[in-house]
A and B are shown apart, each in its own frame.
Chain A
Amino acid sequence: MNTTPALAPSETLAGFAALLRDHGLSVGVAEQQAMLQAAMVLGGPNGPRLNAAWRAIACHSAREWRLWPDLFARYWHPERLRGQVRVSGQTRPQRDLRQAVQQMHEQMDHAAQPPPTAAKAAPQTAADAPHAGAGDSEAGTPRAMGGASRSEPQLEALHQRDGQMWLPQELGALQRLARQITAQLRPLPTRRWRNAHPGQRLDLRQTLRRSVAWGGEPLAPAWQVKRVEPPRLFILADVSRSMESHAALFLRIARAFALEAQARVFVFHTRLAEVTPLMQRDSATVQEKINAVTAGFGAGTRIAASLQDFARVHARAQLRRGARVWVMSDGFDTDAPEHLADALRALRGHGARITWFHPTRQAPAAAAVRNAREHIHRFVPLASLADLVAARPVLH
C-alpha cells in the first residue's frame, strides 16, 4: 500500500500513470513521454505549472478534467489530504483507489482475512443517520455500494455472488437483449439531409458543383438521404445502501447498453459520478472498479440533487429532444420530496423521455416519486433478467 511516490523519476511517473489509468484516463506511452518532456522543461511536480501542463496532456474529456485535481493531489501530495475532512464527515485516506484495489487483491489471496482496521470512520452526518450503524466495523475498506457486505468479508463476497448470478450464457443473453432493445429505440428523424449513395433525392447544388470538373456535364450526380439521429441513452443507476442487492444487476444491464447503444452510465447515491469509461472495458471486475469510484460517497440517496447535477453539468449539451434517461432506483430520496419533481421537470424540459426502473413489483410508493409521477414516462419493474425481457416491447 504505497502511496508515497517512488524515487526514480520514470518509476514515479509510471506509478502516477497507473493511478490515472485505474480511473479510466487513457494514458499511454505517448502521454507519458509528453509528461516527462513537460517535466523536464517545467521542473518538479510541486509547482502549479507542471500540474496544468500534465492536466492538459493526460485529460481528454471534461469528465477526466474534473477528476484530475483529486488524483494529482492524492498521488503527489498525500500529506495534504491526510486527515482532511469532507462534508460527509468521513476521513479521507481510506478512499485511495490504489489502497482499495490492493486490499481487494490481498483479500482475494488470503481468503476471508478480516481487513486491517485503520482509523474508525468519523461520525456521520444527520442525513446518514438511518444507515449509520452498519458502517463502523468496515472503516479502512472501501464502503462502496453503501457497504455492500455488512456480514461477509467485503468484495470477495460480491465477486462470488456476481459469478453465481451470471453464467456466460446469461451474459450472452443480456447482450443480445440489449442489442434488440437498442435496435428498437426509435431514431429521431431530423429535417436535414446527408450525402449518401444511392440516395432518395438529388443534391442539385453538389451535382452542379461536381459537373464543373467535366466541363458542365453532370456525370457524377450527388444523392442525399434523410438524416436520422440515434437516440442518446443515459442510464443513472442508484448504488445506495437500500439498493445494494440490485445494484449488481443494474450495473450489468447498464454495461450491456453502454456497449450496444453507447449509453452514458452514471451511478449515484449522495453524489453523481460517470462510470462510462469503466463500463466500456471488458473486465470481470467492473463491479469492484465502481466500488472504488463510489467509495467516497456518504450514505443516503440524493436522487433529486444527482438528477440536477446530471442535467446541469454532466449531460448539459447532450440532453436534447429524443434523449432517453433511464433511472434505476427504488425512489427513496433523502432530499425533500418536492425536489425530485422539479429535477424531473427540468429534465423533461430538455426534451428527454424518462423511464424509471424499480426493483420492486409495484412502482415506488415513496412520496418523492409519487409527486413526480406525471414527469415519468413509464415505470418498469426490474429485478431480474426476465423482467428486462418482459419490458422489451415497451422500451422504444
Chain B
Amino acid sequence: MQTPAAPGDRQLREQLQQVGYLADADLATTVWLAGELQRPLLLEGDAGVGKTALATALAEAQGAVLVRLQCFEGLDLAQAAYEWNYGRQLMAIRLHDGQPGTVKEADVFSREFLLERPLLKAISQDGPCVLLIDEIDRADEAFEAFLLEVLADYQITVPEIGTLRALHIPRVILTSNGTRELSDALRRRCLYHHLDYPTLAREIAIVKTALPEADTRLVEEAVQFVQRLRNEDLSKIPGIAETLDWVNALHRMHHHTLPEDMAVLLTTLGCLLKTREDRFGLGADRARQLIEGRRTVGVAEKAPANAAAS
C-alpha cells in the first residue's frame, strides 16, 4: 500500500493494530470511509473471520462505547429500540393518586419512563459510540425495514414523544453470515465489505499478536495446517477464532511444534472441527497427509498415505 502523508485510514489501521486487530489495508480504508461518510458498514463473510471482533476492536481503538444488538428470529421493537417502563409509570400514577390534577399524561410518557434498548441507547450517547448489529440475517424482514429509519437518519420515532435524533452519530457495523438475502434497501444504505479467510502470512501475524508467548514454529506449523484444512471438504470451515483456540490448546500442552504423535494431534482437533462428520472425516491418515504437504517427503514415503486415504 502507498503511504501518503498521514492518511486517516492508515492511522486507523495502526490504532486497530494496537488493540490487537490486524486489519488489511482495504478493510481499514473501508472502515475509515464509513466514518467519513457517516454510513453504516455491512460486513459479510463466513463465521469466525473476525466480523464481530472488528466492531469491538474499533470501539476500543477509538475509546468509544460499544453497544451491541444481537439479532434473532422474532426480535421486535421492544427488544431492539425502546419500551415504556410500565411499572414505573404505574407507580408514579399511584404515588400521586390522592392528588388530582398533579399527574398529566405527558408526565408518564416522558423520556425518564422510557427503557433504552440497544438502538435507542446508541442514539442517545453523547460521546463516540460503536453500534454493532450482529447477525442481521437472523432477524425478520419486518425488523430490517424498521432499521432503515435508524440507519439512514440516525433517529427513532417514538409516537408518544416524537422523533429522537442522535446527538453524536454512532458508527454502525452490521454483520451477516449470508443465511438469508438482505433487502436491497438495507444493502444500499450501507458500505459493504466481504471478509475472507486471512492469507497465511496474515493469519500467522494474527495468532502471534494474540498469543505472543506461543512458540513461533508451533504457530507457523499450526496455521499452515489450518490453511490446508480449509481447502478440505468440511461442513464447518475453521475460522480465525478456531485457529487461536487450537494454538492456545497446543501451547498449554507444552508443545513447541505440531505433535508428531497423531493421536495427540487428533485429540486437540476438537478445537478446529465442530461437527461430527468433519471430525470423523479427518482421520489420522488424512491429518498426516495435510502435515506432510508442508514437510518434504519422498514419493515412496508418501504413496502409502495417499493410497490409504483414497
CB contact under 8 A between A49 and B9, given known A43-B4, A192-B73, A195-B74: yes
- Residues of chain B lying within 8 A (CB to CB) of residue A43: 4
Closest A-chain residue to B1, C-beta based?
A48
| Contact of A60 with B by CB under 8 A | yes
Which of B44, B78, B86, B190 has the most chain A CB within a 10 Å cutoff? B86
- Residues of chain B lying within 8 A (CB to CB) of residue A37: 37
Tell which of B2, B39, B41, B192 touches A61, judged by Cβ atoms closer than 8 Å: B192
- Residues of chain B lying within 8 A (CB to CB) of residue A194: 73-74, 140
Q: What separation, in Å, do the CA atoms of A30 and B235 have in the docked complex?
A: 39
| Contact of B178 with A by CB under 8 A | yes
Q: What separation, in Å, do the CA atoms of A289 and B193 have in the docked complex?
A: 26
B3 to chain A, nearest CB (A): 10
| Contact of A166 with B by CB under 8 A | no
Can you list, as one digit per residue, whether each of B17-60 has a CB less than 8 Å from chain A (1) or not (0)?
A: 00000000111011001101101010010100000000000000
Q: What separation, in Å, do the CA atoms of A26 and B87 have in the docked complex?
A: 48
A275 to chain B, nearest CB (A): 15
| Contact of A317 with B by CB under 8 A | yes
| Contact of A57 with B by CB under 8 A | yes
| Contact of B177 with A by CB under 8 A | yes
> Contact between B29 and A53 (Cβ–Cβ < 8 Å)?
yes
Which of chain A's residues 168-214 have a Cβ closer than 8 Å to chain B?
192, 194-195, 209, 212-213
| Contact of B298 with A by CB under 8 A | no
Q: What separation, in Å, do the CA atoms of A349 and B24 have in the docked complex?
A: 35
B229 to chain A, nearest CB (A): 14
| Contact of A1 with B by CB under 8 A | no
| Contact of A55 with B by CB under 8 A | yes
Q: What separation, in Å, do the CA atoms of A76 and B271 have in the docked complex?
A: 45
Which of chain B's residues 165-188 have a Cβ closer than 8 Å to chain A?
177-181, 184, 187-188
We find that the number of chain B residues with CB closer than 8 angstroms to chain A is: 43
> Contact between A60 and B188 (Cβ–Cβ < 8 Å)?
yes
Closest B-chain residue to A216, C-beta based?
B90
Q: Range of interface residues on chain A?
A: 35 or more
B30 to chain A, nearest CB (A): 4
> Contact between A48 and B26 (Cβ–Cβ < 8 Å)?
yes
| Contact of A134 with B by CB under 8 A | no
Q: What separation, in Å, do the CA atoms of A253 and B92 have in the docked complex?
A: 64
A195 to chain B, nearest CB (A): 7
Q: Is the interface of B mostly helix, strand, loop or mixed?
A: mixed
> Contact between B86 and A56 (Cβ–Cβ < 8 Å)?
no
| Contact of B7 with A by CB under 8 A | yes
> Contact between A60 and B192 (Cβ–Cβ < 8 Å)?
yes
B160 to chain A, nearest CB (A): 12
| Contact of A215 with B by CB under 8 A | yes
> Contact between A30 and B188 (Cβ–Cβ < 8 Å)?
yes
Q: What separation, in Å, do the CA atoms of A47 and B46 have in the docked complex?
A: 28
- Residues of chain B lying within 8 A (CB to CB) of residue A3: none
B303 to chain A, nearest CB (A): 20
> Contact between A65 and B90 (Cβ–Cβ < 8 Å)?
no
> Contact between B187 and A56 (Cβ–Cβ < 8 Å)?
no
| Contact of B82 with A by CB under 8 A | no
CB contact under 8 A between A52 and B177, given known A47-B2, A213-B84, A213-B86: no
> Contact between B233 and A56 (Cβ–Cβ < 8 Å)?
no
> Contact between A56 and B34 (Cβ–Cβ < 8 Å)?
yes
| Contact of A41 with B by CB under 8 A | yes
Closest B-chain residue to A54, C-beta based?
B33
- Residues of chain B lying within 8 A (CB to CB) of residue A55: 26, 30, 192
- Residues of chain A lying within 8 A (CB to CB) of residue B36: 41
Which of chain A's residues 32-73 have a Cβ closer than 8 Å to chain B?
34, 37-38, 41-43, 47-49, 51-53, 55-57, 59-62, 64-66
- Residues of chain B lying within 8 A (CB to CB) of residue A38: 33, 37
| Contact of B202 with A by CB under 8 A | no
Q: What separation, in Å, do the CA atoms of A34 and B33 have in the docked complex?
A: 10
- Residues of chain A lying within 8 A (CB to CB) of residue B187: 60-61
> Contact between A49 and B37 (Cβ–Cβ < 8 Å)?
no
Closest B-chain residue to A264, C-beta based?
B181
B99 to chain A, nearest CB (A): 19
Tell which of B33, B90, B177, B277 touches A53, judged by Cβ atoms closer than 8 Å: B33
Q: What separation, in Å, do the CA atoms of A136 and B41 have in the docked complex?
A: 47
| Contact of B194 with A by CB under 8 A | yes
> Contact between B30 and A56 (Cβ–Cβ < 8 Å)?
yes
- Residues of chain B lying within 8 A (CB to CB) of residue A42: 7, 29
| Contact of A318 with B by CB under 8 A | yes
Tell which of B2, B74, B193 touches A56, judged by Cβ atoms closer than 8 Å: B193
Can you list, as one digit per residue, whether each of A346-390 has a CB less than 8 Å from chain B (1) or not (0)?
A: 100110000000000000000000000000000000000000000
- Residues of chain A lying within 8 A (CB to CB) of residue B26: 48, 51-52, 55
Q: What separation, in Å, do the CA atoms of A172 and B205 have in the docked complex?
A: 58
- Residues of chain A lying within 8 A (CB to CB) of residue B179: 317-318
Q: What separation, in Å, do the CA atoms of A26 and B235 have in the docked complex?
A: 32
A69 to chain B, nearest CB (A): 11
Closest B-chain residue to A64, C-beta based?
B192
- Residues of chain A lying within 8 A (CB to CB) of residue B73: 192, 194
Closest B-chain residue to A65, C-beta based?
B194
> Contact between A215 and B184 (Cβ–Cβ < 8 Å)?
no
Closest B-chain residue to A212, C-beta based?
B86
Closest B-chain residue to A229, C-beta based?
B180
Q: What separation, in Å, do the CA atoms of A41 and B8 have in the docked complex?
A: 10
Q: What separation, in Å, do the CA atoms of A53 and B1 have in the docked complex?
A: 14
B278 to chain A, nearest CB (A): 11
Q: Which 3 A/B pairs are nearest by Cβ-Cβ distance?
A: A52-B26, A60-B187, A65-B194
Given contacts A52-B26, A62-B44, A317-B46, 4 further A-B contacts (CB under 8 A): A56-B41, A57-B33, A60-B187, A350-B235
22 A-B contact pairs sorted by A residue (CB < 8 Å): A31-B188, A38-B33, A38-B37, A47-B4, A48-B2, A49-B1, A52-B25, A52-B30, A55-B30, A56-B41, A57-B191, A59-B192, A60-B187, A60-B188, A60-B192, A61-B187, A61-B192, A192-B73, A194-B74, A195-B76, A213-B84, A213-B86
